[in-house]
Amino acid sequence: MHNFLTNNREELILRCKSKVAQRPRRAATEQQLANGIPLFLGQLIRTLAAEEADKPAEGIRISGPAGGDLPALSEMGVSATAHGKELLKLGYTVDQVVHDYGDLCQAITDLAFERDAPFAVAEFRTLNRCLDNAIADAVTEFSFQRDTQIARQQSHDANERFGFLVHELRNSLGTATLAIHALELGGMTVGGATGAVLKRSLSAMGNLISRAVAEVRSGLPEQRQTFSVNSFIHEAETAAQLVASAAGCVFEVPPVDALLAIRGNREMLLAALANLLQNAFKFTHPDTEVVLKAYLLDEHVLIDVEDHCGGLPPGSAARMFSPFNQRSHDKSGLGLGLSIARQSIEADFGTLAVRDVPGTGCVFTIRLPRHALP
């Protein structure tokens, strides 16, 4: 058999490539598949040659014993694991890993039948042993790498969800603390506007905890509603005014059309807007202004947050919404605010974008479909 395989090596490789090309999602380059069939075929030929020369130990070293029971991988096992790892990177499934080696077995059988090439039973046993060991090693490595990849992604997702909860709780707690401080300084009662900010902040913390409990139990319930943009902006303004005063900047909010309405998770969208405002207060230059405005454009409601940060560094806009990305030397935050804001807005079929105004500042724009008030 080893002479037959040597003489027909290129033909067998071409037949395998043809079979591979007929299956979907197999656009790998020849270099990426170098640890696959061509390398396996060479190792199979050398194994058969070693056994024909009565050197079974050499054959075992190259391709491993039946069942693959070796303390270390054989030469064939090393290349098979590399092949399995490469196929995972290319996005293939475990059945496609198995098919790669099955193609060669079928190509050898078909060509031998066409050319009436007889093989000994022992040679077929060697062929099956090599295929079995290579498939096992490739699939084992593929599965290990895939499980590791899934575990890493799950850990990343859990970390991001936990970061979201911590970030939003801290924002609400910060607003509540400012409200209490203002109440104490002014000797005011909790029945006024500042008291309302305190109550909303406490309510927001309660809602965040309730959402976390619901997610742990059975997933998040539907919480979308249609609401007035005017009241939404007014609520954001009341809470943000405390932060603006603490930051020492001017906060302007032009009047909003009373007929404008949007639909979504009001609490999450309010938290997203609060993140944008806190970001603006953090980066705008002293004694400048931050502007919050809402208006209608092409059947969409746009909400702008304009600051006077001086403009964005080159290339920073593309990275700005990435999780754990921090723009300043102040590392007290988690770098999640803008990422959380975009996720919350996109969950309600909206978009969040940033526009640089060189030398002046930047404008964050929330864009949501317009809805009619009930």
DSSP code for 290: E
CA distance 324 to 163: 9
Query: What is the pLDDT, as a whole number, of residue 222?
Result: 59
Query: What is the pLDDT, as a whole number, of residue 333?
Result: 46
CA distance 109 to 5: 11
Query: What is the pLDDT, as a whole number, of residue 217?
Result: 57
pTM: 0.48
CA distance 310 to 326: 17
Counting every residue, how long is the chain? 374
Query: What is the pLDDT, as a whole number, of residue 290?
Result: 95
Query: What is the pLDDT, as a whole number, of residue 334?
Result: 42
**Which segments of the chain does DSSP mark as H helices, in order?**
2-7, 9-21, 37-52, 56-63, 75-89, 94-114, 121-186, 193-217, 229-247, 266-283, 316-319, 337-347
Consecutive 10-residue averages of pLDDT for the chain (374 residues): 82 78 59 64 85 87 76 77 75 73 83 83 84 82 76 68 73 81 78 80 78 61 84 88 84 94 90 89 90 95 95 79 56 60 88 92 95 87
157-174 core/surface letters (b: 16 or more CB in 10 A; e: else): eeebeebbbebbeebbeb
**Which segments of 187-294 does DSSP mark as H helices, in order?**
193-217, 229-247, 266-283
Residue closest to 292 by CA, chosen among 280, 284, 310, 309 = 280
CA distance 64 to 317: 54
Interstrand relation of 261-264 and 289-297 (parallel, antiparallel or unpaired): unpaired
Query: What is the pLDDT, as a whole number, of residue 32?
Result: 47
Q: What angle do CA 31, 33, 38 make, to 5 degrees?
A: 100
Count CA atoms within 13 Å of residue 107 on its CB side.
Answer: 24
CA dihedral of 339, 343, 345, 346, whole degrees rounded to 10: 130
Q: How many Cβ atoms sit within 10 Å of the Cβ of residue 198? A: 21
CA distance 84 to 137: 8
Query: What is the pLDDT, as a whole number, of residue 323?
Result: 58
Query: What is the pLDDT, as a whole number, of residue 98?
Result: 78
